[in-house]
Amino acid sequence: MSEPSIAQLEAKIDRLVEASARLKAENEMLREREARLARERSQLLEKNERARTKIENMITRLKALAPES
């Protein structure tokens, strides 16, 4: 089996560099997406908490309006 030529090694290195750059860009994109989703999750949790509080307040008011049995 013959040894790879310099040109073949350079081509392999070039492909590895390109793959590394693609993976780095993809990783950055995924990190940004993760951060965006974390912010969205936090906002949804806050919104859910506000809705829960409003509903609990409404239930309390309704119970106060209902005649006692």
How many whole angstroms separate alpha carbon 28 and alpha carbon 46? Answer: 27
Model confidence over 4-58: pLDDT tens digits? 899 999 999 999 999 999 999 999 999 999 999 999 999 999 999 999 999 999 9
pLDDT of residue 1: 56
Query: Which letter, b or e, does each residue of 29-65 get, where b requires 16 or more Cβ atoms within 10 Å of its Cβ?
Result: eeeeeeeeeeeeeeeeeeeeeeeeeeeeeeeeeeeee
Predicted TM-score (pTM) of this structure: 0.68
